[in-house]
Structure 1
Amino acid sequence: MSLTYLTTDELSGRIKYDPRTIRERLKDSVLLEGTHYIRPFGGRKILYIWEHIERDMGCTSEQSFAIPMANGGVCHG
C-alpha cells in the first residue's frame, strides 16, 4: 500500500484548517507522531500521512459524547 505524505500546507488545503492551527493545536494532541505524522530521517521536517488522518477524522465525532474521566478513561453517558 502506498501512503500519501503531505506537508503542513498541503494538509491545510485538504482539511480546511489554517497551517498555524495544525501546528499549534492539532499536532501532538489529535495528530500523533508515528501514527498521523513522521519526521523523516530524524529531522525537523514533518510529513503527515493522509490515509491515517482520513481514517481517524470520523472517529472523533463518535467520541464527542463521551465524558472524560480523571483516570484518563471516558464515560459514554
Structure 2
Amino acid sequence: MSKTYLTTYELSEKIKYDPRTIRDRLKDSVLIEGRHYFRPFGGRKILYIWEVIEEDMATMSLSGHGTAIPMANGGACHG
C-alpha cells in the first residue's frame, strides 16, 4: 500500500485547519509522531501520513469518542 505524505500546509488544506493550529494544538496531542507524522532523515521538516490521519478521524467520528485521549500505541483513553 502506498502512502500519501503531506506537509503541514497541504494537510491544512485537506482538513480545513490553519497550519498554525496543526503545529500548535494538534501536533503531539492528537497527531502523534511515529503514527501520524515523522521527520524524514532526522531533520526539522515534518511529513504527515494522510491515510492514517484519515482513518483515525473517521474512527473517532463514528465511535462518538471525539474527546478520547490518543495513546502512543495507537489506542485511546476514554477517561
Q: TM-score, normalised by structure 1?
A: 0.81
1:6-45, CA deviations, whole angstroms, 9 ceiling, x for partnerless residues? 0000000000000000000000000000000010001110
What residue in structure 2 maps to residue 40 of structure 1?
A: 40
Runs of 4+ in 1 over 6 A off after TM superposition: none
Work out whether residues 12 and 18 of structure 2, in 8 Å CA contact, stay in contact via their aligned partners in 1.
yes
* Pair 1:58 & 2:58 matched: yes
Q: Distance in 1 between matches of 2:6 and 2:67?
A: 30
Percent identity, please. 71
Question: In structure 1, how many angstroms separate the alpha carbons of the residues matched to 2:21 and 2:67?
Answer: 23
Contact kept? 2:67, 2:78, Cα under 8 Å? no
Displacement after TM superposition at 1:58 (Å): 1.8
Pairing 1:25–2:25 present: yes
What is the match of residue 49 of structure 1?
Answer: 49
Q: Flag the 1:65–1:31 CA change in 2: closer, same or farther, 3 A.
A: closer
Q: Is structure 2 residue 15 aligned with structure 1 residue 11?
A: no
Shift of residue 74 of structure 1? 2.9
Which 5+ residue runs of structure 2 have no aligned equivalent?
A: 69-76
After TM superposition, give the deviation of residue 65 of structure 1 in Å.
7.0
> TM-score if structure 2 supplies the norm length?
0.79
